[in-house]
Structure 1
């Protein structure tokens, strides 16, 4: 009797599963021939550029090396990988799907699952860090570096473990009746497991943010000052964005686990719901970083300097990393008043 992993290398296995779950009329054209797929490629490219800009900003400015910004950098890294993974997933869909072996299919889908899971776990880590920061009314002490490393490492280890389970055997190869319709090589019970994990995470984030709200309303928050109010507003926006972006995908996955073959036509459009969930990776930098003056200044400085370099101007000082946001802006003239905008007119035209 052969090894159960022999089917992992059979190129006909993927086609068999797609024909069973979706029928022989499954779309097999080029992914770029679909306008929606082209739009997804554009959005994923924006996600990559946006989060790459955040990572560069955090790396360059030493004032952004605090605990909170380290977690934001981790979130940006996971969101960047989510954009790359979903971009590759889109470009390898359509007619390219049916030439994949189960191994390459698991890599294609697993990378997207791992990146999106890491993004969600990073949101949870940020919620925990914000809770600790508000409770202590100050960032982590020096001894908190180990906790940060442990929390960030746990995000990626758990994300990779969850995404790698199907490749390790939790799949429906040889059991077509147990296959997911949205993800034809994944077992339905695995899909239910994933939905359950994300639901628990969502509930945990809601509980943490609810406690933050209670603390912010208490007398303890009076010592924290306006920072607590800003945090509370940011947390509310983040929670709303998380629910809006992920709830449709959760519903589709639950339908996938409950519906039989061809019983739920909406499952044929599941890729659009996952693409909408990927928008969370584009929204996160806007919520977490553009509400921070330090991050905003560094990003505007980067855009300004890149614009100057693109126009052929001399901008050696643009390559110098800032030690803090209070450092002189490279595009600000010496005679500017302290209340002047971050970027002058000349600089603004370069962005």
Structure 2
């Protein structure tokens, strides 16, 4: 959301949620210490945005070029990479806009507010798309483990593409609506409820998955014509996505708490103190976009191999010939 680097930035962006936040600071009659908005250099946002952009583009390119990665799970990962990229790039670009166009000119203020609303819509839409992509991956892993023999009939590439299209359409519409009505507590509560409902659903799915997975693998391994190695691979994929979910929760939880405190206790000194670290929470969100591609690379041998070949081909000046090797 909006990066509040200075009180001038707050004045030129009155529609931001954070404007109300600083009013609460003034009304609380506290000054200094914990209640001052923590400053983070704009260069940090820009660097994280660039790193995330490069990493996630590499993931998307690897999945698109390697036909061995043209499976539903990797398409869902590609969707997650797009969401991560949009979140980090939007945050970085927003910082640049606010830093470069710090002015009291009313026309410029109006333009910046409109740009901010667009970027916030992108961020909100990408957040919802990230959660939906994680949920899709969880469902995909569930079917690979418990319905291994019927998996390819249930989860096809075509259905995965349709699901991804529906996810981005619904999330884009929702993101725009949430930003348009951002000043309504009901809308924020609705957003938080959707997020926590989906996270709870994923958590319950993973708990059920890991409680029964080992027993199910042992049973299916003794059946004729089955491949126990594939089951182990599917289990590894489930563990990978559990790590992704854990990183997502760790990086986004402070921001979710910020929204909850903004709605429930905006004048409470402890809540105000927590909300004063808003820029740190934005950094954590961008770190999530940087960490995810590293998890893909560390956990997927095929993806890691593709990364290496792409980098070698790029260094040799033949990146466009890479696809012919697959």
Q: 2:306 aligns to what?
A: 298
> Whose RCO is larger (CA < 8 A, sep 6+)?
2
Deviation at 1:206, TM superposition (A): 0.4
Larger Rg: 1
TM-score by structure 2 length? 0.76
Higher helix fraction: Structure 1 or Structure 2?
A: 2
Aligned residues: 285
Deviation at 1:214, TM superposition (A): 2.5
Deviation at 1:144, TM superposition (A): 2.3
**Structure 2, gaps ≥5 residues long:** 1-10, 27-38, 222-227
Pick from 273, 284, 289 the counterpart of residue 292 of structure 2: 284
1:321 aligns with 2:313: no
Aligned counterparts of 1:50 and 1:143: Cα–Cα separation in 2: 28
1:134 aligns with 2:145: yes
Is residue 58–residue 69 contact of structure 1 (8 Å, CA) maintained in 2?
A: yes
Deviation digits for residues 97-138 of structure 1 (CA, Å, limit 9, x no counterpart): 971455433212111111222122211111111112222226
Aligned counterparts of 1:259 and 1:303: Cα–Cα separation in 2: 50
Q: 1:72 aligns to what?
A: 77
Deviation digits for residues 38-92 of structure 1 (CA, Å, limit 9, x no counterpart): 1121111111100000111111111111222211211112212222211122223
Structure 1 segments of 4+ aligned residues over 6 angstroms from their partners = none
Indicate how the Cα distance of structure 1 residues 231 and 61 shifts in structure 2: closer, same or farther if over 3 A, else same: closer
TM-score by structure 1 length? 0.71
Is residue 310–residue 322 contact of structure 2 (8 Å, CA) maintained in 1?
A: no
Q: 1:90 aligns to what?
A: 95
Q: 2:36 aligns to what?
A: none
Aligned counterparts of 1:322 and 1:282: Cα–Cα separation in 2: 29
Indicate how the Cα distance of structure 1 residues 97 and 287 shifts in structure 2: closer, same or farther if over 3 A, else same: farther
Deviation at 1:187, TM superposition (A): 2.6
Q: Give runs of aligned pairs for residues 197-208 of structure 1, distance below 5 A.
A: 197-208=194-205
Deviation at 1:35, TM superposition (A): 5.0
1:159 aligns with 2:167: no
Indicate the RMSD between aligned Cα atoms, in angstroms: 3.0
Indicate how the Cα distance of structure 1 residues 104 and 289 shifts in structure 2: closer, same or farther if over 3 A, else same: same
Aligned counterparts of 1:230 and 1:121: Cα–Cα separation in 2: 21
Q: 2:22 aligns to what?
A: 22
Secondary structure, counterpart of 1:137 in structure 2? coil
Q: 1:189 aligns to what?
A: 186
Is residue 40–residue 280 contact of structure 2 (8 Å, CA) maintained in 1?
A: no
**Structure 1, gaps ≥5 residues long:** 1-11, 27-33, 172-185, 310-315, 325-351
1:145 aligns with 2:144: no
Deviation at 1:232, TM superposition (A): 4.1
Indicate how the Cα distance of structure 1 residues 284 and 125 shifts in structure 2: closer, same or farther if over 3 A, else same: same
